[in-house]
Amino acid sequence: MECLLCGTIINWQPTLWDLLCFKKLTPPRVCARCSQSFTKIGNADRCRGCGRQRGNLCEDCQRWQQKLGWIIHNQSLFEYNDAMKDYMQRYKFMGDYRLRQVFSHELTTLVCQQNADLIIPIPINQHTWQTRGFNQVTAMLDCRYSVDIIGTKAGNKEVFQSQKGRQQRLRTSQPFVLLNKDEICQKSILLVDDVYTTGRTIYHAATLCYQAGCRSIKSITLAS
């Protein structure tokens, strides 16, 4: 099999242990060298808000706490380093749909471990559907999730978060609408997104869930 990122042939044989476990086999989708270019976020020194390695509660999260009176507990798998930026460029902006497989297993595993009542992937708007053709988050998730609870506002043009500066991102107005309030009431919610940058997108979605009376809310992103 070829590495999805660089095309190198991967020689992979399941071990005897893999075969004896009767688990679904997950052959690597990228070679060891590409895999090493991504940096996992360790457990040490994690901010209990954004989950980045910035100490107990980082300045960004302290500002959210002041502004909203609550913070979301986010967990991310990888640092948003150059390799991850390059990956996102190819996957999202060049629309290479095959690349959903690179992190699908790891992301799905972490999402399922949370045992949330509802898994809600952050939706993409009409414009992105038309240009990219797929939601980069749901494409990676190999589990049950709900896409009929939060939608994007019609005519919303707040698409290119990634092209904005930090202050601009933080000023972005609410791009989402709640489609199904009753479903959320008293439930534990897990939001899933690709990248946590300022937190603005996640907090917009989380605010709607809080207003609808969810019991608890957390989020997971692939990178931050």
Residue 71 binds Zn ion, judged by CB under 5 A: no
Q: How far is CA 95 from CA 132, 181, 187, 191, in A?
A: 6, 32, 34, 23
Binding mask 48-67 for Zn ion (x = CB under 5 A): -xx-------x--x------
What pairs with residue 152 in β-bridges? 176
Size of the site for Zn ion (CB under 5 A): 11
Q: Report how far residue 160's alpha carbon sits from residue 148's, in angstroms, rounded to the nearest whole number.
A: 23
User: Is 178 in contact with 212 (CB distance < 8 Å)?
Assistant: yes
By the rule CB under 5 A, 83 interacts with Zn ion: no
Cα distance between residue 38 and residue 81, in whole Å: 7
Asked whether the beta carbons of 180 and 152 are under 8 A apart, the reply is no
124 binds Zn ion (CB under 5 A): no
Q: Which is nearer to Zn ion, 29 or 132 (CB)?
A: 29
Q: Which of residues 32-51 bind Zn ion (CB under 5 A)?
A: 34, 47, 49-50
Stretch that binds Zn ion, among 25-33, 90-98, 124-132, 211-219 (CB under 5 A): 25-33
DSSP track, 107-159 = HHHHHHHT--SEEEEPP--HHHHHHT-S-TTTTT--S---SSSEEEPTT--TT
Cβ distance to Zn ion smaller for residue 58 or 195: 58
Among 3, 120, 184, 220, binds Zn ion (CB under 5 A): 3
For Zn ion, which is the closer residue by CB, 49 or 123? Answer: 49
Q: Which is nearer to Zn ion, 62 or 126 (CB)?
A: 62
Contact residues for Zn ion, defined by CB under 5 A = 3, 5-6, 8, 31, 34, 47, 49-50, 58, 61
